[in-house]
Amino acid sequence: MVKMPKRTFGDDIRVALLIIIIIAVIYPIIYVVSPGWGVVLGHGIYWVIALIGFNLLFSYTGLLSFGHALFLGIGAYTVGFMYKYLGITSIELHLLGSILSSALVAFLVGFVVVKYTRIFFAIFMLAIAQIFWSLYYKFFWITGGTDGIKVARFSIFGISLENLDFASYHHIFFYLVTGIALVLVYLMWRIVNSPFGLALKAIRDNETRARFIGIDVYKMRLYAFIISAIYASITGALAANHHRLVTPDIAYWTTSGKVVFATLLGGAKMFIGPVIGSFIFHIIESFAMRFIYWQIIMGLLIVIIIIVVPGGFIQLIKTSIEQGSRLIRR
Amino acid sequence: MEILKLVDVRKYFGGVRALENITTTLNEGELTMVIGPNGAGKTTLVNVISGYILPDGGKIIYSGEEITRYPPLKRIEKGIVRSFQLVNVFEGLTVYENLMTALFSRMKNYNRMYKLVDDYVEVSNEAENLLKLFGLIDLADKNIKSISYGDRKLLDIAISFAMNPKLIMLDEPTSGVATKDKDEIMEKIIEIIRKTKVTSIIIEHDMDIVFRYGERIIAMHQGKIIADGEADEVKRDEEVKRVLLGGIYA
């Protein structure tokens, strides 16, 4: 029987899950040595979710969004509003609220925006994200403006974590987001390897042909857009609980840039690229931020990556493994 | 039995009359070759039947139902399938994945998100049968970029057949293919059309192929049908001779 092409390690779900599990295993050691790096790993874990969601749209559907901060903002502000106006601290409800609100916004925005492709889609998304950012920024009596909204420590399964010491609270948060990331990465892998994923790739490659074999291109793009938005909003919701403060920064265009950058850094063409990209980005960012002109370092880095390894770190790893095995065989 | 009827179908592009009051019928299981010089309106004819563009006037009736303003998706659901003049496959997928995509689409499974492609055994078996039918089985796991243009053409047509068409329209299925491979590809296509008894419209420029395989031939010129009938009949038509054949079959 003919089968789907054999997956390389870059598209192997076991590798993706293994990376996250390894991070989770080494996390306690890292935290003991340097709590700051423990926090960085935490960032890395929950950003994986936004990046693989973004990559569903970018690499699998062929739509480059320059405005994914829109959905990170929706997720974060949903948490902020839920706490500020309803006093809700339950992280389960935060996640549920973020999923529902982002799905609704993605449906309304996507209804219009997925009719466009290429630069039109990218700029459209950037514009909409900036509109939302300005709403958070200007409507300060609702959103707190640049001061943002403070969020209390979350509760989980009805248990409040308010009285825990910082380290314990952070450990619980870390392993919670690890669990969520494992589930969502696995789900995304199933999505991209399902008939739906195949249809998305077909649309990406040849929209006209896809339409003339009966694929509803518009609907498929809209579904991908909504899924991608939900993933980003989950990261937004987790970031709000991690920082315990929601400010317009999360919805600013630089956040959208971070999503694109980190995905490219890891490598968009393989499934595990964004997983690697998330960790590498946060590690590099933490180093770079020690310098006053850290943005220059990050900017230079993306230029180098585009020129030297356009396939991202995963491509670099793949090439190294191939060359290494060739040398061993000799 | 009549499957497709065109009544006074018109399509203008500015001052160019691409289709001018086209009226004709196609019977079920019929293999029709459409010939004509460049700009005769052959591709426009396929475009309006498939819904790629809408006509400016006239009616298209398919299996007794008027489909003139139907979008492509609805026509495909009714079994009207086409291929394009240039190869139109999914370049980032393998040969097998191309066919699986078409099969999932036909079976309306293409929006399923959880079950893996490999778990659809029946769909996979059908893809395998199609690959065998079109002689592409050895290329199943190959990327599109690594196979020949002729094989891509065959795959393109296999994708159309995967849709289980009732009416298939192939726009120059051998264009761009090396002369030595043309006959082989056409033989394969005709064999499959005859086996499946699907109503077919084939646009073709190569007159040897047209008169060898065409059961019925429609000759077009400047947006009009100038001859319509069996091969010998069309071959003898004075206007066809003047416009198209230039004395080849005189």
State pLDDT tens for residues A312-322.
888 888 888 88
Residues of A with CB under 8 A from a CB of B: 1-5, 190-191, 193-199, 201-202, 204-206, 208-216, 219-220, 223
Q: List the one residue out of A270, A256, A260 whose CA is nearest residue A306.
A: A260
State the CB neighbour count (10 A cutoff) for residue B238: 10
Q: Provide the chain B residues 81-110 that lie in CB contact (below 8 A) with chain A.
A: 81-82, 84, 88-94, 96-98, 100-102, 104-106, 109-110
pLDDT at B246: 64
| CA–CA min distance A86, chain B (Å) | 35
| CA–CA min distance B15, chain A (Å) | 27
What 3-state class would DSSP assign to B174? coil
- pTM of structure: 0.88
Residues of A in contact with B141 (CB under 8 A): 2, 5
pLDDT of B235 higher than 80: no
pLDDT of B14 higher than 50: yes
Average pLDDT of span A296-325: 82
Q: How confident is the model at residue A102 (pLDDT cuts 50, 70, 90)?
A: very high
B100 → closest Cβ in A198, A209, A220: A198
Q: What's the Cα-to-Cα distance from B226 to each of A59, A79, A303, B164, rounded to whole Å?
A: 49, 71, 61, 32
Q: Which of A22-36, A86-100, B12-26 is most confident? A: A86-100
- Cα separation, A158 vs A168, whole angstroms: 17
**Contact at CB, A191 and B50, closer than 8 angstroms:** no
CB A203 within 8 A of CB A221: yes
**Contact at CB, B111 and A223, closer than 8 angstroms:** yes
State the CB neighbour count (10 A cutoff) for residue B138: 11
**Contact at CB, A213 and B106, closer than 8 angstroms:** yes
State the helix-helix crossing angle for A13-33 and A166-192, rounded to 10 degrees.
170
B124 → closest Cβ in A1, A193, A219: A1
Q: Which of A143-147, B22-26, B137-141 has the lowest mean pLDDT?
A: A143-147
pLDDT at B27: 87
Put simply, whether B27 touches A (Cβ < 8 Å) is no
Average pLDDT of span A297-320: 82
pLDDT at A146: 80
Q: List the one residue out of A168, A177, A183, A166 whose CA is nearest residue A24.
A: A177
Q: How confident is the model at residue B38 (pLDDT cuts 50, 70, 90)?
A: confident
Q: Which of A153-157, A223-227, B49-53, B69-73 is most confident? A: A223-227
pLDDT of B208 higher than 60: yes
Rg (C-alpha) for chain B, rounded Å, is 18
Q: How confident is the model at residue A217 (pLDDT cuts 50, 70, 90)?
A: very high
- Cα separation, A288 vs A290, whole angstroms: 5
The four Cα atoms A316, A317, A319, A322 give a dihedral, to 10 degrees, of 170
**Contact at CB, B77 and A211, closer than 8 angstroms:** no
- Cα separation, B15 vs B17, whole angstroms: 6
Q: How confident is the model at residue B250 (pLDDT cuts 50, 70, 90)?
A: very low
Percent of chain B predicted with pLDDT > 70: 98
| CA–CA min distance A218, chain B (Å) | 11
State pLDDT tens for residues A237-248.
999 998 888 889
Residue with tokens 């065998």: B132
CB B34 within 8 A of CB B42: yes
CB B31 within 8 A of CB B216: yes
**Contact at CB, B117 and A194, closer than 8 angstroms:** yes
Measured over all CA atoms, what is the biggest interatomic distance in chain B, rounded to whole angstroms? 62
B90 → closest Cβ in A201, A216, A219: A201
Residues of B in contact with A212 (CB under 8 A): 50, 52, 72, 76, 81-82, 84, 88
User: What are A230's two structure tokens?
Assistant: 């939900």
Residue A82 sits at φ, ψ, to 5 deg, of -60, -40
pLDDT at A218: 93
Q: Which residue has the higher pLDDT, B239 or A171?
A: A171
What is the end-to-end Cα distance of chain B in Å, rounded?
34
Q: How confident is the model at residue A200 (pLDDT cuts 50, 70, 90)?
A: very high
Average pLDDT of span B176-191: 80
Percent of chain A predicted with pLDDT > 70: 98
pLDDT of B247 higher than 60: no
What 3-state class would DSSP assign to A149? strand
Q: How confident is the model at residue B183 (pLDDT cuts 50, 70, 90)?
A: confident
Q: List the one residue out of B165, B142, B34 whose CA is nearest residue B89.
A: B142
Residues of A in contact with B109 (CB under 8 A): 195
Q: What's the Cα-to-Cα distance from A111 to each of A74, A107, A134, rounded to whole Å?
A: 17, 6, 22
CB A75 within 8 A of CB A234: yes
Rg (C-alpha) for chain A, rounded Å, is 20
- Distance between alpha carbon A118 and the CA centroid of its chain, in Å? 21
What 3-state class would DSSP assign to A121? helix
State pLDDT tens for residues A40-73.
888 899 999 999 999 999 999 999 989 999 999 9
Residue B2 bridge partners (DSSP) = B27
State the CB neighbour count (10 A cutoff) for residue B125: 12
| Angle at the Cα of A139 from the Cα atoms of A134 and A65, rounded to 5 degrees | 25
Q: List the one residue out of A211, A185, A248 whose CA is nearest residue A47.
A: A185
- H-helix segments, A150-272: 166-192, 195-205, 207-211, 217-243, 253-266
Q: Which of A238-247, B49-58, B211-220 has the lowest mean pLDDT?
A: B211-220
Q: What share of chain A is helix, strand, coil (3-state, %, to 5)?
A: 80, 5, 20
pLDDT of B249 higher than 70: no
Average pLDDT, chain A: 89
